[in-house]
Chains A and B, each alone.
Chain A
Amino acid sequence: EPEVTQTPSHQVTQMGQEVILRCVPISNHLYFYWYRQILGQKVEFLVSFYNNEISEKSEIFDDQFSVERPDGSNFTLKIRSTKLEDSAMYFCASSVAVNTGELFFGEGSRLTVL
């Protein structure tokens, strides 16, 4: 069964450093998303991406964050100048359609900022 894959599964970084989280969405999916879940809190939407551009973003997704699809398969989330409060599980997801289909989530990348 096709699945969304994410790397790394866990990353520890120092405050102020830049991190890149990587995702390989399901191959025939057209919409890609990043969500995050701070420990003990709700899953929160960060950004959606379609046709090589951001299609929707939340208030959380400020200039510190960026997304990119550098090739035909990878979808990345870059977090610049990390802060302690960026520590969370980051989930990548993809879907065939935006309004009619379910999202398929990856296993997540746990980011710990020290």
Chain B
Amino acid sequence: EDKVVQSPLSLVVHEGDTVTLNCSYEVTNFRSLLWYKQEKKAPTFLFMLTSSGIEKKSGRLSSILDKKELSSILNITATQTGDSAIYLCAVRIQGAQKLVFGQGTRLTINP
């Protein structure tokens, strides 16, 4: 069975801290890994990763994929209260249309 596991499940930090969120996967035939941010309702797209070792960056957020370790990390530097959300990792399998989601990491940034 295809599986995506995120850690930690919950994280509370102070504003200005740097955080690293983890995602590992066990799937039959990996195609890509996607990160989403879910604040209130709709997950909003952050990154899509297909190649190992290439960092994707958007402002204070960055992400990298390690296909050897079957994992990805999402880094957020200089965190702000607006970064408080659930961060979802999802994997797309070759030849399939569905995304397989992890359970999410709930990140809380305290002022």
Contacts and interface: CB of A to CB of B under 8 A. Distances in A.
A103 B48 CA distance: 10
Query: What's the dominant secondary structure at chain B's contact region?
Result: strand
Contacts of B48: 101-102
On chain B, which size bracket covers the interface? 20 to 34
Contacts of A43: 43, 88, 90, 99, 101
Most central of B36, B43, B48, B97 by chain A CB within 10 Å: B97
Nearest to A45: B98
Contacts, number: 52
Interface residues of A, number: 26
A107 B97 contact: no
Nearest to B98: A45
B107 interface: no
- Which 3 A-B pairs have CB atoms at the shortest separation, nearest pair first? A45-B98, A48-B97, A43-B101
Interface of A: 4, 31, 33, 35, 41-45, 48, 50, 55-56, 58, 89, 91, 98-99, 101-108
13 contacts: A4-B42, A31-B97, A33-B97, A43-B99, A43-B101, A45-B98, A45-B99, A48-B98, A55-B97, A56-B97, A98-B97, A101-B48, A105-B43
